[in-house]
Amino acid sequence: MQEIRVSKAKFKYNMNPFVQQARAGKTVIVTNDGTDEFAVVPCAPTGAPPTLPGLVSAKDYAAIDMNEPAFES
């Protein structure tokens, strides 16, 4: 993975190009007085969000008493 180093002042002044570089797969290391301070890294694609196998119906919750405490004190 490619790395780009940039000063914190330059990063704060013009952040968007560095974020675009991270989206393209590069790691942007932000420095402060020559010391690495933090990195902007690309996220791995996670795919589609999880879904329930079927719809949840109201009758699934019919036996729950909303006036009863969920946990014992």
CATH of the domain at 38: 3.40.1620.10
| Residue 65 belongs to some domain of the structure | no
| Residue 8 belongs to some domain of the structure | yes
Query: What does the pLDDT read at residue 66?
Result: 79
Domain span holding position 31: 1-43
Query: What does the pLDDT read at residue 29?
Result: 96
| Residue 66 belongs to some domain of the structure | no
| Residue 55 belongs to some domain of the structure | no
The pLDDT tens digits of the residues spanning 18-28 come to 999 999 999 99
Query: Rounded distance, CA 4 to CA 18, Å?
Result: 9
The pLDDT tens digits of the residues spanning 37-57 come to 999 998 877 777 777 777 777
Number of domains in the chain: 1
| Residue 32 belongs to some domain of the structure | yes
* 65 phi/psi in degrees, rounded to 5: -95, 110
Would you call 30 exposed, middle or buried from its count of C-beta atoms within 10 A (0-12, 13-18, 19+)? buried
Dihedral sign, Cα of residue 42, residue 45, residue 49, residue 53: negative
pLDDT of residue 7 exceeding 80, the answer is: yes
Confidence of residue 1 (pLDDT cuts 50, 70, 90): low
